[in-house]
């Protein structure tokens, strides 16, 4: 089994059949999205060719939502999934945040006052920016001058299902009441939710290990094993180099072009979806990354399923300039496939592409 190629297929990077942003998000379960521009490209690259503004429109309409869920960072999620995902994963994130809650003097009394203030300010479809929420909190007598305290006040409100993303106001993000943004959504028991998340992960991210799912979901190892047991009839597995990899029993087996190239954004699920990245990244190239020495934080050039370098973009009024930094000189055929990948990115932005020489 070629793990890298199978992930390209299952994540719909090499086999784009989706037509809408929410199709991608629903398939993957959640898409890490603290870098909004990068997350839009991550979603679009898994479709038949939607453009940047189409993802913006879906976001503004609430067809995809952006909130804190699973690991303590932003993710895109589908509206019908947001409540059961929060109910399943938020307790773990709250537990991880407990030290900061204590240090910042954030307790049940403060959270109750916060909830009342936010629900009053945002009711009847109001959508407010972060700065406007700070004013709301301050007017309610809640200390909100410290940046970190504000972060945890808002983050925990998302985890509690009070807030979620609203439409963007120009380039600013807004928040809305989840109960108004998504008046009805699927409710599942904890066991049903765990089974559903497990199925989504291994279908959309497989082949992957227990450790990978534990990292991605933020769930305990015991929960992960329980989830696998519940959906085991729908999964297949294979042992590679002593490691068990799980995947959908009906996994696609189409071929992937040997020299196929992809310009993936930072935090793409192809990178962030796994704690063990050895199947797609040779650690001998670690020193060729930036000071953080982690491919997760950089735009990655992927060729033949492997991280083969990094790239940067510069947006101009009339073009997008792409600067490549491959780990090794590209062959003629690799240059052609990379150029094709760059053209696809240019179409997404509706801008011509030019390469910057290093």
- 289 vs 272: CA distance, rounded Å: 16
Q: Is the peptide bond before 207 cis (omega within 30 degrees of 0)?
A: yes
User: What value does the mean pLDDT take over residues 107-136?
Assistant: 98
Q: What's the confidence (pLDDT) of residue 259?
A: 72
Residue-wise pLDDT for 156-195, tens only, equals: 999 999 999 999 999 999 999 999 999 887 789 999 999 9
Bridging pattern class, strands 73-77 and 128-129: unpaired
- The DSSP bridge partners found for residue 310 are 300, 325
Examine the pLDDT at 246 and tell me if it is beyond 60: yes
- 3 vs 24: CA distance, rounded Å: 21
Helix (H, G, I), strand (E, B) or coil at 302: strand
- 43 vs 198: CA distance, rounded Å: 20
The CA–CA distances, whole Å, from 243 to 1, 79, 143, 180, 208 equal 12, 35, 50, 45, 9
* Conformation bin of residue 70: beta by default, left when phi > 0, alpha when psi is -120 to 50: left
- 301 vs 308: CA distance, rounded Å: 5
Bridging pattern class, strands 320-326 and 353-356: parallel
Question: Cα–Cα–Cα angle for 220, 42, 236, nearest 5°?
Answer: 50
User: What value does the mean pLDDT take over residues 111-129?
Assistant: 98
Bridging pattern class, strands 300-303 and 261-264: antiparallel
- The DSSP bridge partners found for residue 193 are none
Residue-wise pLDDT for 258-312, tens only, equals: 679 999 999 999 999 999 999 999 888 887 776 566 776 799 999 999 999 999 9
Give me the sign of the Cα torsion angle 10, 14, 17, 21.
Answer: positive
pTM: 0.94
- The DSSP bridge partners found for residue 201 are none
What confidence category does residue 257 fall into, taking pLDDT thresholds of 50, 70 and 90? Answer: low
- 151 vs 356: CA distance, rounded Å: 38
Examine the pLDDT at 34 and tell me if it is beyond 90: yes
- 25 vs 11: CA distance, rounded Å: 11
Residue-wise pLDDT for 41-60, tens only, equals: 999 999 999 999 999 999 99
Sheet holding 174-177, edge to edge: 128-129, 174-177, 163-165
- Calculate the CA dihedral of residues 134, 140, 143, 144 and round it to 10 degrees: 0
In 3D, which of 346, 278, 295 has the Cα closest to residue 7? Answer: 278
Phi, psi of 206 (to 5 degrees): -65, 160
Phi, psi of 103 (to 5 degrees): -65, -35
Helix (H, G, I), strand (E, B) or coil at 148: helix
8 A C-beta contact, residue 273 and residue 212? yes
Joined tokens for residue 151: 């972060």
End-to-end CA distance of the chain: 37
User: What value does the mean pLDDT take over residues 311-316?
Assistant: 95
Residue-wise pLDDT for 68-103, tens only, equals: 999 889 999 999 999 999 999 999 999 999 999 999
Examine the pLDDT at 358 and tell me if it is beyond 70: no
Question: Cα–Cα–Cα angle for 117, 87, 22, nearest 5°?
Answer: 90
In 3D, which of 280, 346, 290 has the Cα closest to residue 319? Answer: 346
Domains of the chain and CATH, by start: 3-181 (no CATH), 190-248 (1.10.10.10), 261-356 (no CATH)
User: What value does the mean pLDDT take over residues 18-29?
Assistant: 97
- The DSSP bridge partners found for residue 67 are 75
8 A C-beta contact, residue 142 and residue 152? no
């Amino acid at each position: 089994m070629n793990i890298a190629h199978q992930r390209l297929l299952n994540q719909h990077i090499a086999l784009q059949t989706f037509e809408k942003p929410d199709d991608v998000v629903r398939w993957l379960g959640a898409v890490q999205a603290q870098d909004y521009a990068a997350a839009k490209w991550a979603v679009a690259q898994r479709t038949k060719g939607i453009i940047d503004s189409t993802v913006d429109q879906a976001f503004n309409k609430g067809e995809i939502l952006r909130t804190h869920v699973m690991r303590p960072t932003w993710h895109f999620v589908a509206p019908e999934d947001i409540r059961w995902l929060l109910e399943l994963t938020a307790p773990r994130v709250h537990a991880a945040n407990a030290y900061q809650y204590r240090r910042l003097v954030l307790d049940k009394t403060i959270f109750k006052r916060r909830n009342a203030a936010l629900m009053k300010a945002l009711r009847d479809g109001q959508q407010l920016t972060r700065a406007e929420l700070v004013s709301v909190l301050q007017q309610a007598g809640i200390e909100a001058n410290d940046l970190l305290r504000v972060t945890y006040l808002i983050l925990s409100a998302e985890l509690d299902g009070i807030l979620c993303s609203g439409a963007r106001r120009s380039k600013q993000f807004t928040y809305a009441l989840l109960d108004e943004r998504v008046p009805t959504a699927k409710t599942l028991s904890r066991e049903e939710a765990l089974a559903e998340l497990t199925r989504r992960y291994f279908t959309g991210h497989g082949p992957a290990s227990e450790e990978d799912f534990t990292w991605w979901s933020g769930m305990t190892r015991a929960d992960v094993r329980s989830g696998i047991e519940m959906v085991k009839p729908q999964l297949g597995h294979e042992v590679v180099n002593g490691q068990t990899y799980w995947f959908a029993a009906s996994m696609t087996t189409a071929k992937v072009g040997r020299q196929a190239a992809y310009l993936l954004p930072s935090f793409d699920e192809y990178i962030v979806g796994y704690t063990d990245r050895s199947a797609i990244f040779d650690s001998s190239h670690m020193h060729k990354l930036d000071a953080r020495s982690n491919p997760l934080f950089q735009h990655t050039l992927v060729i033949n399923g492997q991280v083969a370098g990094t790239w940067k973009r510069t947006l101009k009024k009339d073009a997008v300039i792409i600067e490549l930094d491959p780990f090794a000189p590209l062959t003629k055929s690799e240059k052609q496939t990379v150029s094709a990948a760059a053209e696809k990115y240019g179409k997404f932005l509706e801008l011509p592409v030019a390469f910057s020489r290093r």
